Structure formats: structure tokens, C-alpha cells
A and B are shown apart, each in its own frame.
Chain A
């Protein structure tokens, strides 16, 4: 049976511009979408692409551990959202089928967010060309990935005050910084502490999300 390291080696051909494109798409989905299922999947895939890019800068085993922390965070988000949406949502009415399609249509808000994603992507591309990170440590495509993730992370933080959106934004921002910083400081202590930071941020966001759901459920119960 192939190990995680074997799997990562077999897809290492993606660890360049395809992974950067993947990061743009997944971070873009996090900004545009408000469907928690889609967001959790996007975050999971985002950590996969981050790990792929990390394998070019640090040892495969360390990158794999960072990936595992990321996927554990996705699991925390999945379980929290599942519980929170069960607390919040009333029973689905029978004529809800047409409404399901509505969630896939692009609302005015989503269109605006998509436009913002495109603007950030253009700004990140320009920044990668004009203000390159030290090329001896960080390759050009990873520089672009860093700027993209930092920019989209800040955008996510700025457009919402919902705990999960802010949590996703903070984690995206930190992943972008991590891509850059592992090249400067590849020590295991820093990698471990940054992993602990990410995990604590995820727990804090999940705790606040639960706090958001519980009063809502209480109010419904009271009415």
C-alpha cells in the first residue's frame, strides 16, 4: 500500500504553476462561496497544493506533517459546521428543491467578491514581478503563490465578520506566509509552533462558530 510520502512523490509534477493555479481557484472559492461544504473541500484541496509547493523547499516528511495539520483543521471545521448547521436550520420544507438550485446561481454579493478575487490576483501577479521575494530562497512561482494567498486571506478577513470566514482567511494568510517563511527559517521548532498557531486559530474560530449557533438555536426553541 502506498504511503502518504509515495503519493506526494507521484504528484510532484504538479508542484509548480499548476499548484499556484490550484491555490488561486481554492482561495477564490473560499472568498466567493458561503456554502460550508464547498469551503471545507476547498480548504482541504488548498492544503494539498500548499504541501506540494512546500515539498520544493523543505523535506518531504516535514511538508507532509504540515499537510496533516491542515487536514486535521479541515476536519475540525467540518464537524463544527455540521453541528452548527444542525442547530441552526429548521426542517427543510418539501418545496425546497427549486431553492437548492438557487445556491449555485451567482448573487450580486458573489459577483462582487469574484471581481475582488480577480483584482487581488492581478495585484499579486504585479507584486510578484515588481517586488520579488529573495530569489535565492523563494522561486518566482512560489512568490506568486505567497502574494496570492496573503492577499486573498486578507480579503476574506475584511469582507466578513463571521467566525468561520475570518478563520478561513487567517489560515489562508498564514499558509501564504508559511510558504515564504519555511525557505528563510527551515527549523523544526518554527514549523511546529506555526502548526500549533494554525490549529489554535482553527479551534478559536470553531468555538466562536458554536457560540454563534447556540444562541440562535436557543431563540428558535423559545419561539
Chain B
């Protein structure tokens, strides 16, 4: 309705829109702050931690929070704060590696399925559905039994179970885009299939994929914590939020701070990345931006 002014619209950059948006949207701001704190502490973990996270000190076991130990100590006398910070590294490492690998593979397969020939689409969909039909935990248990628990196992499990999720999303997006006039316009101009995929489909599917991927980070973090809690993830003594939770679980009546110390970062990560993802969606979805 207001789009007919013959003046070119002001050139508002994405960054500026993001900033404008953040000023208005408090939740997004909280999200950004949380994400910065979480990633910051993961990167700078060795500099932040006051104690060696794996150093035993049996005399100081299960101590409450103090100025020496911000979050107290666990049953082996290790500094819980240091372990939580080191756990951030593990959590983000698993999340980032597995989501970026799964995202890239899913993106490629999804675009091929959505744009490619029918038989490729059909076989990819069967492939996706086969993987998806295994419950994640059962699948993880199987893999762990075969290979033994390790961080790499967790990453592998998450990658394999996430590819179909991203693949399907990208495929649906691609199919919606392929039916647009602008793809036919490209074909009419003589553009080849590879050019159409790279120049015209990719930029349109990558945005939504990034948003979903960023919202998936807390999901993967939770999966990693869950597997580690069950003893299927990182091996002791490496700190992970899941193992901290597991350690604290046995002493929940007397020393609740252990469970809180393991659980709070999980909650904050979930909130932070979800708020951020929602803010990104609002900013990068051109349909929403078009509204005045």
C-alpha cells in the first residue's frame, strides 16, 4: 500500500536492521548477551577457570559455594565452577561441529532433492525417513555399544540424526522456490542448473536453515548433556554439563548447588540461542521486513 513511492527505498543494511531490532526487542538483546557470555566463556575457558577442573581434593569434597569455590566442590573435591566453564567448551564443540556438518550435508542433499530429478528426490526421501525412523537415544545406544562412549560418538550420532531434519527443511524450501517465476525467468535466459542452484536457490534457503540451526544448538547441547548424563558421552574425568548433573544427582538432598550448577547453563543456553534465533528470523525474513 505504501510501496509506490517512486523514490528508491533507503538502503538499510542488514546489520542496521539487526541493531534497530535489538533496541526494540528486549528478548533478542537478552539472547545476544547470553550467547556472547556462553561463547566467550567457551573460548576463554582456560583463562577464566580459577582451578584445574580435574584436580582432586578429597578433603574439600562437597563444599558449599564460597569465595574460593564459586559453585562449591563435587564429591571428589573438584571445583564445580571450573568444571561448568570447561563443560561449556564441550557443549559448544559438539553443537557447532555436528550442526555445521549436518547442516552442510543436509543443505546439499536437500537442494538436490528439491531441484533435482524425481528419482533422486524419492531415494533421498527414503534415505531420510529410514534414518529418522530410529529414535535418537536408541540409535545412540547402538552406536555407543559398537564403538564405546566418546565425544566423537556423540558428534557422529547427532550428525546422522540431524541430516534428515535439515535435508527435509531445505528440500521443502527448495521446492517452494523452484516453482517461482524467477527460476523460470532464469531458465528462459538460459541459465544452467548449477548456476540456478548456487546463485538463486542457495541464498534463499540458507537464511531459514541458519535460523533453524541456531535454534538447534540448545537441542544438541541437551542431547550431549543427556548422553553424558547416561554415561554415553564424554569420558570421565572430562567435564560436561551432563556429567556434572550426574555427579550432583546422587547428592541432590544435601548439595543441591551441584544440580543447579549443571542445569542452569543448560537453561541459559536454551534461552539465549532461542531468543537469538527468533530475532534472526524476524530480521532476515524479508516478508516480515517488507511491512512498514
Whether A associates with B in a native complex is no
Chain A interfacial positions (CB closer than 8 Å to B): none
Which B residues lie at the A interface, using CB under 8 A?
none
